[in-house]
Structure 1
């Protein structure tokens, strides 16, 4: 098709750029999406991308100081050839935080809360036990949603007028006055 070979060309350009600006680090996130096991998807495009990547990585030995790093949540989904010595020959496993670490992560994300709202050590311990399997990002989201939940309980439901920029009479602003959002006649929020 029209875009056939684009990914392979972009990979080559990326490696050439790194080579020209060394020392350099190339980092690929969600690497399993770029380099899945060939044959696993039955997709010739992915197979071609993986083959190109293998050739580029094999050429790194002669290229000087270019380091390639990749992250994935699904290491078993990667093409096995990428995990052979000379390519990605070192693997680091970053596990989910344990109970004590979850408690500390929650403490970090709640430490700037007002004293009256900040969870007690006992509550943090309870939350740490209850959040087994949560990542640090999920714990941060939990703390954020707790703030939103508490504010909602204290203030009541958020209305279109609140979103429009001030609630009450301010939602009835004349066109062209303040605010980037306004409540439409059907109650929906629209861009102005």
Structure 2
């Protein structure tokens, strides 16, 4: 299982600091520029609209090439050393993603992870996306279910095709609840945690 990196540092300014002097403003500019160089400033994407029927997140879809992900959300380093389950780069807290993700149906193994702070894409050997998971606050599916909702809403909205349960029971790891929804033979949806902390979409089974 991939281990998430520590949450990026939070910079706090003192309420008593006078910021009106030119020297102070220059110092803030330089400090901010250096900080952005190391940790990024506002350039990380926020994922919001997951269309589970079309298989897209903010317009980027399952089976799209990695280049489409980069064009829409920005370039990141390809991580070719991974195994399921996969997590965003700076999760900072339990993600409650799938415990297992089947290998890609097409293209075979040998792809990579494209990790963002609030999301991750997994590609196959063709460099096409077959799995994606997100933790962005406010993210919703096309049916209005997403991060922060209770699993009771998942069950209400998706009905009998939602299969819910509990993972890591008596395993020594943190137990958590989940729901998975089989939309078709090649489309699976995951809701992890109650309230939901992660939503994943895949062309293969997740469990």
Query: TM-score normalised to the size of structure 2?
Result: 0.21
The structure that is strand-richer by fraction is 2
Query: TM-score normalised to the size of structure 1?
Result: 0.22
Higher relative CO (Cα under 8 Å, sequence separation at least 6) belongs to 2
Q: Which has the larger radius of gyration?
A: 1
The structure that is helix-richer by fraction is 1
